[in-house]
């Protein structure tokens, strides 16, 4: 049985037993929830202990990977700039749309109090009291202290400085240190995989505890999360079409029909990498983009760019805040969106369940929110992942259209300049076609 199937089985058993206890006797349900809650918390602690070294390593590796890719030429630099702009747009869209969508939905009675009781063992995270405090805390006075207190945004800022500085040192030392950072990331991923082996038990304990306290209303909460993520992914996918039309100078009908085969494969495989051959075929043969552009931009996109990743991180955090009855400030939303963009650049290529915990946990922590619901949401993320992959493949092809459109603009400008130069150097003619007199 696959890990995903085992996790879903743990979710189902926990929900059924928890709901049955809540229906049978509320006091007994509460006692059982109190008894199993430490098991779920222990599992989350095991995952949390890997977050700081893993995130720092991924950010450093992401900076150097992007720098190496950008060094390969003008097309690569334009592609990376396009990736960053689209990632920022996706994160900003989620930060605005997710709270708006959730504000339209009723929250089950007693959900916030029940979740607060379930999170009683969580370590309190400091939330800045003002924008000024948040702004001055972006750069850490002590990187080790930021890591020890799980202050993820200052830690990521330090990792960015470290990553960019690493690109400026002598090449041999750069390579040795980069190998060490890669080794740290690899070791943390191995540990996360070990911990995820116990995910069915951890998810079972967390879901049982929450369902026993909340009762049948928890099923609606699960549906709300799935609906929120699917709505965000579908909305972003639809927005990519006008982006390709306006920024990539594509015709809407042509672009939509050309990318449909790649989207179909993405939905069936839930893998951008498996969709790469279809994307190359759509971009080069159906859309007619130059082969040097498609053969460079699309593999880069698969290895560096997933537009739905920052949307997921922000959406998860906003959902947790909604479930707990927490009103997020503008500073918290900005923190989450900015951190989500940076982390997403370094996390591409991680296995799905490893990626979920390693990337959502730091964003949730940075926004000052409890991390306990992440174990449950990990099990629920299988359904939205289908729509996320379709959105990622659509974004890859939209980014390729933008880069190809930029190259067409450069070529047109070069042709115009060349034509002007030729005209300037050609002899003047009279209307009759004879050479003009020097007089």
**Which pLDDT tens digit goes with each residue over 75-128?**
888 888 999 999 999 999 999 999 999 998 887 766 776 666 555 544 444 455
Distance CA 113, CA 117 (A): 6
What pLDDT, on the 0 to 100 scale, is given for residue 320? 92
How many other C-beta atoms are found inside a 10 Å radius of the C-beta of residue 283? 26
Residue 31 placed within a domain: yes
Convert the pLDDT of each residue in 19-39 to its tens digit.
Answer: 898 888 888 888 888 888 888
Residue 224 placed within a domain: yes
- The alpha-carbon radius of gyration of the chain (Å, integer) is 25
Q: What is the DSSP letter of 138?
A: S
Domain that holds residue 100: 3-408
Distance CA 378, CA 206 (A): 11
Note the pTM of the prediction, 2 decimals: 0.82
Q: Is the pLDDT of residue 196 over 60?
A: yes
Residue 432 placed within a domain: no
Residue 362 placed within a domain: yes
Distance CA 46, CA 198 (A): 10
Give the angle 5-6-7 at the CA atoms, nearest 5°.
90
Residue 423 placed within a domain: no
Residue 233 placed within a domain: yes
First to last CA, the chain: 93
Domain count, the chain: 1
Q: What is the DSSP letter of 429?
A: B
* Alpha helices for 104-170 (secondary structure H): 111-118, 131-136, 143-148, 152-166
Residue 421 placed within a domain: no
Cα atoms in the 13 Å half-sphere on the side-chain side of 379? 27
Q: Is the pLDDT of residue 131 over 80?
A: no
Is the Cβ–Cβ distance between 339 and 158 less than 8 Å? Answer: no
Residue 426 placed within a domain: no
CATH classification of the domain holding 371: 1.10.3860
Which has more confidence, 109 or 13? 13
Q: Is the pLDDT of residue 408 over 80?
A: no
């Amino acid at each position: 049985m696959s890990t995903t199937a085992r996790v879903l089985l743990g979710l189902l058993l926990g929900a059924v037993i928890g709901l049955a206890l809540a229906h049978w006797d509320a006091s007994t349900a509460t006692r059982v929830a109190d008894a199993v809650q430490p098991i779920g918390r222990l599992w989350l602690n095991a995952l949390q202990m890997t977050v700081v070294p893993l995130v720092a390593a991924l950010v450093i590796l992401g900076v150097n990977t992007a720098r190496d890719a950008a060094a390969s030429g003008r097309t690569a630099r334009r592609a990376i700039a396009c990736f960053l702009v689209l990632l920022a747009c996706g994160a900003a869209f989620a930060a605005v749309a997710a709270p708006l969508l959730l504000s339209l939905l009723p929250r089950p009675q007693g959900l916030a109090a029940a979740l607060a009781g379930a999170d009683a063992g969580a370590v309190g995270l400091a939330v800045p009291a003002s924008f000024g405090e948040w702004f001055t805390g972006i750069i850490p006075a002590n990187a080790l202290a930021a890591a020890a207190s799980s202050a993820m945004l200052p830690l990521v800022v330090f990792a960015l400085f470290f990553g960019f500085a690493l690109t400026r040192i002598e090449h041999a030392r750069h390579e040795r240190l980069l190998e060490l950072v890669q080794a740290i990331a690899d070791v943390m991923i191995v540990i996360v995989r070990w911990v995820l082996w116990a995910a069915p038990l951890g998810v079972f304990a967390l879901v049982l505890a929450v369902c026993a306290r909340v009762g049948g209303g928890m099923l609606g909460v699960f549906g709300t999360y799935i609906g929120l993520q699917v709505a965000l992914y579908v909305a972003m996918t639809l927005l990519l079409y006008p982006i390709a039309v306006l920024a990539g100078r594509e015709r809407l009908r042509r672009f939509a029909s050309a990318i449909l085969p790649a989207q179909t494969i993405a939905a069936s495989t839930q893998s951008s990498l498996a969709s790469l051959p279809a994307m190359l075929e759509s971009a080069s043969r159906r859309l007619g983009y130059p082969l040097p552009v498609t053969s460079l931009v699309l593999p880069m996109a698969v290895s560096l760019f997933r537009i739905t990743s920052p949307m997921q991180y922000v959406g998860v955090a906003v959902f947790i805040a909604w479930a707990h009855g927490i009103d997020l400030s503008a500073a918290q939303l900005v923190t989450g969106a900015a951190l989500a963009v940076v982390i997403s650049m370094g996390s591409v290529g991680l296995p799905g369940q490893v990626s979920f915990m390693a990337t959502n946990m730091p964003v949730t922590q940075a926004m000052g929110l409890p991390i306990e619901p992440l174990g449950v949401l990990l099990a629920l993320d299988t359904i939205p992942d289908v729509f996320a992959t379709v959105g990622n493949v659509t974004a890859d092809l939209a980014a390729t259209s933008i880069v190809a459109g930029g190259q067409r603009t450069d070529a047109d400008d070069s042709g115009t300049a060349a034509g002007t130069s030729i005209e300037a150097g050609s002899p003047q003619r009279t209307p009759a076609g004879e050479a003009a007199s020097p007089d």
